[in-house]
Structure 1
Amino acid sequence: MEKNDSTEVRKVQKTGGATYIVSLPKDWVEENKIKPGDGLMIRRLEDASLQIIPPGTQEKKVAEAKIGTSPDEDPHKIARKVISLYLVGYNLIHINSETKFSPIQRKVIKNYVKEKLIGAELIADSPSEMTIRILLSYPELSVKDALRRMFLIASSMQKEAISALEKLDRVTAEEVVRLDDEVDRFSMYIIRQIKIAVQNPRTIKSIGLRNARDCLGYRLIVKSVERIADHAASIAEKVKLIHKPLNKGVLREIQNMSAFVNAMLEKSMLALFKEDYNLAEEIIAEKERVKPMEERATKLALEIPGEDSINVRLIVESLRRIAEYSSDIAEIVLNLTVAAQVIT
C-alpha cells in the first residue's frame, strides 16, 4: 500500500476466479465504526471513479438558522441577511427581535419574502419573532426550468420596453420595470440550488444538472440573464423620461437594432438548452454586427433636442449591452459543449 496525505493506493486482489477485492483503510473503518457484515454503499461517479459511503451516513443539510435584531436596525439590512441565508441553503429562518419589530421592519421583511424568495413562506409572525420556511424542493422546479423562465421574462421585457418607446407608453414601461423583480426571484432560487449542489455533489442531478462544470456555467449564465433584465428595465426607465415621440428615422434604427439583439438573446437560450456548439459560434460572430447599428442610432439620437437625446442614447447603449451579454452566454455554451467537438 502506498500512501500520500489522504490518498492511498491499494492493490486489487482476485479471489474465487471472478471477484475483485480491495481492502479498506483500518483508520477509516474504525472512524466510521464499521463492523464485519455491514453494508457499504458504492456509487459510480461520472468520471468512472467510485465513491464509498459508510452505513448511516446522511446527506448534510443546512436546516435552521436564527438571527437577532433590534427595533432600530435598518429593515433592509435584516432583509439582506435573510436573503443570504436563503441563498446558502437554509430551510428554516428565525428572526428574533430584542423587544418587538417596528412596523417598517415587519413590512419590508414580508415584502422581501413575498417578492424575492421563491418557495419561501412566512409561517410564524409574532410581535418579537418571525419564521420563514422554504417549502420548494428540487424536483418541483429544476435549475433549467427556472433559467428558461428567466430567459423568457428578460426577452419579453426588452420587447415590451421598445414597444413602450414607440408609443411613449409609461404604463407598459412601469410594468417592464416591475418584471425585473420576477427575474431576480428566479435568479436567487437558481443560485440557492447551485450552492446547495456544490456543497453536496450528490444533489447535482436532483436539480437537473450533470456535474460541477454545469453548476459553474449555469451560475455565470444566470448572472448574464439578470444583467440583461436590468438593462431592459433601464430602457423602460428611460422611456418614462422621454417627453416627445421620436422621429421615424431614429425609431426605425432602434427597432431594427432591438429586433437583432433580441434574436441574439433568444438564440443564446436555444443554443444552451439544445447544447448547440455551432449556434453558439454564430451568436458570437453576430455581436460584431451590433456596433454599426449602435453608431447609426447614436448619430441620429444626437439630433434630438434636450434631455431626450441623452435618454435615447442610453437606450441604444443598453441594447448593445444586451447583445454583449447574449454573446457572453454563447461563450459559456461553447465551454459546456466543446467536449462533444473532440475527435476520439
Structure 2
Amino acid sequence: MEFRKVQRTGGSSYVISLPKEWVQSMNIKKNEPLPVKVQADGSLLILPRSSEDKKSWEKEFQVDSIKDPVFLFRCLVGSYIAGYTAIRISASTRLSPAIRKAVRDFSSMTIGQQIVEETDSFILIRDILNPAEMPFENSIRRMFVIIGTMYNDAMTALEARDPGLAEDIINRDVEVDKLQWLVSRQYHLMFRDATLPEKLHVTVEGASSYYTVSRSLERIGDHGVRIASHLPVLIRNEVDDEVAAGMLAATDAAMSILDSSMRSLFSSDIVDANRTIDMVGDLARMTDGISALAHEKTGEVALSIGYIAESIRRAGEYSADISEAIINQIIRD
C-alpha cells in the first residue's frame, strides 16, 4: 500500500497527488474532472470516468473445439453472470445447428441478451438492458410471486387430477431462473461499476443479501419442479385422499414460511424473521407424517410420495434460510 501526504492549498482546500502510473493508464488529461464519491465506510472513491463512457467488456468463444452445446450454454450463462456486455461465438468454418440452437436458447432464457449480428461462422450477442432499470427488489418480488403460483397450482393439479397443469408448472421455472441469473449478474457488476449501487439505490451489502435470497428462491423453485414432475404418478394411480390432504396442508405450511420470510425481508422485521425460522419444526413433523404414509404404498407411488414430501420440507427450510439472511443483514446494518 502506498501512502501520500495531504497538503493544504489556498488556505481552505486540501489536496493529495494521484499516482502517475494510474493517471497514465486511465488516460486522464490535465484539468479533466474526476467523480469523487464518499463511501459508507468513510473512504473516498475516485472514478476515472463515468460509467456511460466505459468500453464494452467482451468475451469470445471459439467453438471449433466445443462439441457439446450444453457445455457452451453453461459457458454463455457464466459470461452473462460475470457481467460481459458482448459475447462473440465464432468458428473457423460453419457454426453447427446444435451450437446455433444453444446460442438462441441462451438469448431467449436471459434478460437483455440480444443477437445483433450473425453469419455462417459468427454470432454476436450484446447486452441491451440498463441494469438500473431492474432493481433487485423488483426481481425478488417477481420470483416470489412466480414460486407462490407454482406451489399453489401444484396442489390444484393434485386435487383436480390435472397433469397438464403440472407440466405448466415445470415450464414456469424458466422465469425464476432468468430472474436469478439477472440478480447474480447485477451483483457481480457492482464490483466492476462503482456507480451501480447508487443507481440501484442499494448498498453492496444489501445487494449481497438480495443475491443470497435469490439463490434460496431459485432452489425453492427447483423443488416446485420436482413436486410437479412426480404429480402425474399420483394422478395416474389415484392416490388416496389422506395423502393428498397431507400434501396440501404441508404445502400451505411451507408457503406460509416463505410468505413470512419475504414479509420480514421487505419490512426489515428481525422479530418476525426469528419467529419464521421456528415454524420449520411444525412443517418437518407434517412431512414426516406424509413420508410415513409412503411406507404403506409400493413402487413408483411410494417413491413419488417420498420425493414430494422431501421437496415440501426443503422448500420450507430454504424459506427459513431467507429469514436467517435477513437477521444477519439487520444485525450488520
Q: 1:30 to 1:22 in 2, by over 3 A?
A: farther
> Secondary structure of 2:89's partner?
strand
Q: Which amino acid in 1 is paired with 2:282? A: R
Return the alpha-carbon distance in structure 2 between the equivalents of residues 177 and 162 of structure 1. 14
After TM superposition, give the deviation of residue 304 of structure 1 in Å.
Answer: 2.7
> Secondary structure of 2:195's partner?
helix
Per the alignment, residue 222 of structure 1 pairs with 214
Return the alpha-carbon distance in structure 1 between the equivalents of residues 164 and 21 of structure 2. 68
Return the alpha-carbon distance in structure 1 between the equivalents of residues 58 and 258 of structure 2. 39
> Secondary structure of 1:46's partner?
coil
Q: 1:304 to 1:12 in 2, by over 3 A?
A: same
Per the alignment, residue 133 of structure 1 pairs with 126
The number of residues matched between the two structures is 329
Return the alpha-carbon distance in structure 2 between the equivalents of residues 239 and 7 of structure 1. 65
Per the alignment, residue 240 of structure 1 pairs with 232
Return the alpha-carbon distance in structure 1 between the equivalents of residues 99 and 34 of structure 2. 50
Return the alpha-carbon distance in structure 2 between the equivalents of residues 248 and 173 of structure 1. 18
Q: Which amino acid in 2 is paired with 1:328? A: D
- The two structures, once aligned, show a CA RMSD in angstroms of 2.5
Residues 155-190 of structure 1, C-alpha deviations (whole Å, 9 max, x = no match): 211111122222332101111111111111111111
1:261 correspondence with 2:257: no
TM-score (structure 2 length as normaliser):
0.89
Q: 1:202 to 1:173 in 2, by over 3 A?
A: same
Larger mean CA deviation between 295-304 and 142-151 belongs to 295-304
TM-score (structure 1 length as normaliser):
0.87
Q: 1:235 to 1:61 in 2, by over 3 A?
A: farther
After TM superposition, give the deviation of residue 297 of structure 1 in Å.
Answer: 1.6
Per the alignment, residue 22 of structure 1 pairs with 14
Share of identical aligned residues, percent?
A: 27
> Unaligned 5+ residue runs, structure 1?
none
Alignment equivalent of 1:142, drawn from 119, 123, 135: 135
Per the alignment, residue 331 of structure 2 pairs with 338
Alignment equivalent of 2:74, drawn from 80, 91, 97: 80
> Secondary structure of 1:198's partner?
coil
Return the alpha-carbon distance in structure 1 between the equivalents of residues 35 and 99 of structure 2. 48
Larger mean CA deviation between 250-259 and 327-336 belongs to 250-259
Return the alpha-carbon distance in structure 2 between the equivalents of residues 272 and 61 of structure 1. 36
Return the alpha-carbon distance in structure 1 between the equivalents of residues 47 and 100 of structure 2. 45
Q: Which amino acid in 2 is paired with 1:82? A: L
Matches within 5 A, 1:1-344: 5-8=1-4, 10=5, 16=11, 19=12, 21-25=13-17, 28=19, 31-32=22-23, 39-53=33-47, 62-70=56-64, 73-114=67-108, 116-210=109-203, 212-242=204-234, 243-339=236-332
Return the alpha-carbon distance in structure 2 between the equivalents of residues 103 and 15 of structure 1. 68
Q: 1:103 to 1:285 in 2, by over 3 A?
A: same
Retained in 1: the 8 A contact 2:261–2:276?
yes
Q: 1:171 to 1:199 in 2, by over 3 A?
A: same
Return the alpha-carbon distance in structure 1 between the equivalents of residues 61 and 42 of structure 2. 43
After TM superposition, give the deviation of residue 290 of structure 1 in Å.
Answer: 1.3
Return the alpha-carbon distance in structure 2 between the equivalents of residues 47 and 81 of structure 1. 36
Retained in 2: the 8 A contact 1:224–1:328?
yes
Return the alpha-carbon distance in structure 2 between the equivalents of residues 228 and 76 of structure 1. 24
Larger mean CA deviation between 29-38 and 278-287 belongs to 29-38
Return the alpha-carbon distance in structure 2 between the equivalents of residues 258 and 84 of structure 1. 33
> Secondary structure of 2:191's partner?
helix
